[in-house]
């Protein structure tokens, strides 16, 4: 009986250790298979990194690992190419016989009290295993300075992991606002922690041309600069022609080579985007002969010139490349000759989105071209343009990729589609046997509101964290051979600093990383929330900004026949209490707790709410005007009758 009791105590002890380990381990994106073991690895005073392969790529991973550990721990490291096992070492091993399950990017990570071993078929797998290992260390591993008072230990575990999709992208808009070479590197450093491997750089738009084209110097001499404005995007004053154009910047080709090399060392491919025929005002300002509409043009500074109404849009000026101008095609032959020579990635993105064609309809040259080519409408005219661009790009040995509007009027042969207006464009392209990257604005546009607009920086639509987590790049019934993967997009019209960019990215980019890396069966919302809350501590250690909007309530309003409103409050994270007030004071946990839909007291002007967890505030204090809630309920504002 005593022996059985001791055995039971031992089992319970192991289970307790495993449960503690499970609480300590917070990996994003979720690995395919994790087993928690007894014990822990303690980092030695001098770190030995052993490799069994002398290739430059393996040594590069080993050195990056060593430098990361050195920066945060203050300890020195040495890389040794030897098979003789050294206790306490971190081993990076390329499999002699490749394992089919791991593919080119998978890895197996084993942590015991005697050491750490990462095995993979290729060096990319070692790199991703290294990223996971960092998430097992204490949060201070993300510090940019050495922390001497930390016990550098890792819980024992066995992890086998591999990606679901080969395209795991993040788009960074450096055209609307210019971000420096160092800031782009910082962006890369943050994305690879969560196993993203494609950086889509949106390099040209109405507000700036950011890449040096040596044969066309005005593209950056003129197109990279605009008048400086601060305030609310779309409401800026129009610059005068003689106003100084000092805000902006561009990447020289040497700059871009440096960025490409930096990315490649971290297993990131860079997809360049030259957005045409719309979104081309910076190019038109540089070379006005590119447009169908003669005039004087300047780079847009954020003033409104495209009007969006009722699901459609029109332009107040012509920001398009003229498809009927034969000189346009040798011009872009020069552009894509230099772009293709600069970027090793096999794809070049040519845009094709949101092209207002009203000025084409007024152009005699376009009318003649349409008649000559038997084009039925301006959608087919854009398709004509994209198909000619596709021939230029393919002649450089590259594949064309475009936004899903390139489906309209006929898809160019061999073109890949990036589906942003929901998933349907990608589904259609895949059924035509074209490659697809899914990046729907309904799930993956990270420049949109992530909480109630009353408490967030201004933008135009919403993707909350839970919605982002629902993203699945592979729709039912679609052949997976044609779905390359998915990505999230960070447009920068309304953000001009890295701090704001970080706030919009995290934690929603965690959700997208899990959608493109992890197996669907590994996704679980409540578990995800627990894990990203631990990631917040790592972001704090790295001094990276992030949003806590997932703790803020959603407001749902309804009205009765008398135009009285009822207000329902809910949270996407469970276990929160919502406290509220109508009396203009700021509520805390001693105020009324929300339980049932609220009715508004007769003379109340504002509803103030805040969320708590375990008696501590966790969300923002939100001041919601009753007038705003009535507006959302579709109740027209009643203006008081003026008194005499």
* Per-residue pLDDT tens digits for 502-527: 999 999 999 999 999 999 999 999 99
Considering the domain architecture, whether residues 447 and 539 belong to the same structural domain is answered as: yes
What is the per-residue pLDDT across 97-147, written as a single tens digit (0 to 9) for each? 999 999 999 999 999 999 999 999 999 999 999 999 999 999 999 999 999
305 occurs within a structural domain: yes
Considering the domain architecture, whether residues 176 and 36 belong to the same structural domain is answered as: no
Of all residues in the chain, what percent carry a pLDDT higher than 70? 95
Considering the domain architecture, whether residues 183 and 309 belong to the same structural domain is answered as: yes
Considering the domain architecture, whether residues 46 and 183 belong to the same structural domain is answered as: no
Considering the domain architecture, whether residues 523 and 558 belong to the same structural domain is answered as: no
639 occurs within a structural domain: no
What is the per-residue pLDDT across 231-254, written as a single tens digit (0 to 9) for each? 999 999 999 999 999 999 999 999
Q: Note the pLDDT of residue 643.
A: 62
Looking at the DSSP bridge assignments, the partners of residue 42 are 153
Considering the domain architecture, whether residues 31 and 145 belong to the same structural domain is answered as: yes
Q: What is the CATH number of the domain that holds 42?
A: 3.30.379.10
Phi first, then psi: give them for residue 485, nearest 5 degrees: 155, -150
643 occurs within a structural domain: no
Catalytic residue flag (residue 572): no
Mean pLDDT over the full length of the chain: 94
Considering the domain architecture, whether residues 494 and 602 belong to the same structural domain is answered as: no
Q: What is the CATH number of the domain that holds 594?
A: 2.60.40
644 occurs within a structural domain: no
Q: Which residues contact 427 (CB under 8 A, 6 or more apart)?
A: 419, 475, 478
Considering the domain architecture, whether residues 545 and 566 belong to the same structural domain is answered as: no
CA end-to-end distance (rounded Å), the chain: 97
Q: Note the pLDDT of residue 310.
A: 78
Catalytic residue flag (residue 354): yes
| Domain end marker among 496, 523, 549 | 549
| Domain end marker among 161, 189, 212 | 161
3-state DSSP assignment of residue 482: helix
> For residue 110, what is the enclosing H or E element?
strand 107-112
Q: What is the CATH number of the domain that holds 399?
A: 3.20.20.80
Length of the chain: 644
Q: Note the pLDDT of residue 429.
A: 98
Catalytic residue flag (residue 279): yes
Angle subtended at Cα 171 by Cα 166 and Cα 173, rounded to the nearest 5 degrees: 165
Q: Which of 177, 200, 279, 349 is catalytic?
A: 279
Q: Note the pLDDT of residue 21.
A: 46
Q: Note the pLDDT of residue 191.
A: 98
| Domain end marker among 524, 549, 574 | 549
227 occurs within a structural domain: yes
What residues make up the domain containing 97? Answer: 2-161
Q: Which of 255, 354, 537, 577 is catalytic?
A: 354
Number of domains observed in the structure of the chain: 3
Considering the domain architecture, whether residues 349 and 413 belong to the same structural domain is answered as: yes
Residues (pLDDT < 50) of the chain are: 1-23
Q: Note the pLDDT of residue 84.
A: 82
Considering the domain architecture, whether residues 542 and 558 belong to the same structural domain is answered as: no
Query: How far apart (Å, rounded) are the C-alpha atoms in residues 90 and 136?
Result: 14
Considering the domain architecture, whether residues 134 and 57 belong to the same structural domain is answered as: yes
Q: Which of 142, 205, 206, 502 is catalytic?
A: 205
Considering the domain architecture, whether residues 189 and 154 belong to the same structural domain is answered as: no
């Amino acid at each position: 009986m005593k022996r059985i009791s001791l055995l039971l105590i031992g089992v319970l002890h192991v289970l307790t250790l495993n449960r503690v380990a499970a609480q300590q381990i917070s990996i994003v994106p979720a690995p395919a298979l994790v087993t928690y073991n007894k014990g822990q690895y303690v980092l030695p005073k001098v770190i030995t990194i052993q490799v069994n392969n002398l290739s430059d790529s393996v040594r590069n991973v080993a050195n990056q690992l060593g430098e990361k550990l050195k920066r945060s721990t203050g300890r020195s490291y040495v890389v040794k190419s030897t098979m003789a096992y050294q206790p306490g070492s971190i081993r990076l091993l390329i499999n002699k016989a490749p394992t089919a399950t791991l593919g080119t990017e998978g890895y197996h990570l084993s942590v015991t009290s005697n050491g750490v071993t990462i095995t993979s078929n290729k060096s990319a797998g070692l790199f991703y295993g290294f990223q996971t290992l960092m998430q097992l260390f204490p949060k201070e591993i993300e510090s940019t300075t050495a922390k001497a008072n930390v016990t550098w230990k890792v819980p024992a575990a066995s992890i086998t992991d591999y990606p679901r999709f080969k395209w795991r992208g993040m788009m960074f808009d450096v055209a609307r606002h210019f971000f420096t070479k160092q800031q782009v590197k910082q962006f890369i450093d943050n994305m690879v922690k969560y196993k993203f491997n494609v950086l889509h750089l949106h390099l040209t738009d109405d507000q700036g041309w950011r890449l040096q084209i040596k044969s066309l110097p005005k593209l950056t001499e003129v197109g990279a600069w605009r008048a400086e404005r601060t305030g609310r995007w779309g409401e800026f004053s129009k610059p005068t022609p003689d106003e100084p154009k000092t805000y902006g910047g561009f990447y020289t080709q040497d700059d871009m080579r440096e960025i490409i090399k930096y990315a490649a060392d971290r297993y990131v491919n860079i997809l360049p985007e030259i957005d045409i025929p719309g979104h081309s005002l910076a190019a038109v300002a540089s070379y006005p002969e590119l447009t169908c509409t003669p005039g004087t043009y300047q780079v847009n500074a954020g003033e409104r010139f495209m009007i969006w109404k009722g699901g459609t849009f029109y332009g107040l000026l012509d920001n398009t490349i003229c498809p009927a101008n034969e000189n346009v095609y040798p011009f872009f032959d020069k552009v894509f000759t230099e772009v293709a020579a600069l970027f090793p990635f096999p794809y070049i993105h040519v845009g094709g989105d949101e092209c207002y064609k009203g000025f084409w309809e007024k152009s005699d040259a376009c009318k003649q071209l349409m008649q000559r080519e038997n084009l039925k409408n301006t959608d087919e005219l854009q398709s004509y343009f994209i198909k000619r661009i596709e021939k230029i790009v393919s002649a450089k040995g590259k594949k064309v990729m475009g936004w899903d509007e390139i489906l309209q009027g006929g898809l160019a042969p061999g073109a890949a589609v990036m589906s942003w207006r929901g998933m349907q464009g990608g589904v259609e392209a895949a059924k035509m046997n074209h490659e697809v990257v899914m990046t729907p604005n309904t799930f993956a546009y990270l420049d949109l509101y992530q909480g109630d607009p009353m408490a967030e920086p201004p933008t135009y639509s919403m993707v909350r964290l839970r919605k982002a987590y629902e993203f699945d790049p592979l729709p039912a019934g679609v052949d997976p051979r044609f779905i390359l993967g998915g990505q999230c997009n960070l447009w920068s019209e309304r953000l001009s600093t890295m701090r704001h960019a970080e706030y919009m990215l995290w934690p929603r980019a965690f959700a997208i990383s899990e959608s493109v890396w992890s197996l669907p069966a590994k996704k679980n919302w409540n578990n995800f929330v627990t894990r990203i809350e631990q990631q917040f501590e790592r972001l704090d250690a790295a001094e990276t900004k992030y949003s806590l909007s997932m703790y803020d309530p959603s407001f749902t309003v309804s009205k009765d026949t008398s135009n009285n409103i009822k207000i329902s409050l809910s949270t996407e994270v469970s276990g929160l209490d919502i406290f509220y007030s109508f009396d203009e004071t700021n509520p805390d946990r001693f105020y009324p707790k929300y339980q049932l839909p609220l009715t508004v007291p007769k003379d109340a002007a504002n509803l103030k709410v805040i969320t708590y967890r375990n008696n501590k505030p966790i969300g923002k204090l939100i001041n919601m005007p009753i007038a705003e809630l009535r507006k959302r309920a579709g109740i027209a504002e009643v203006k008081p009758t003026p008194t005499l």
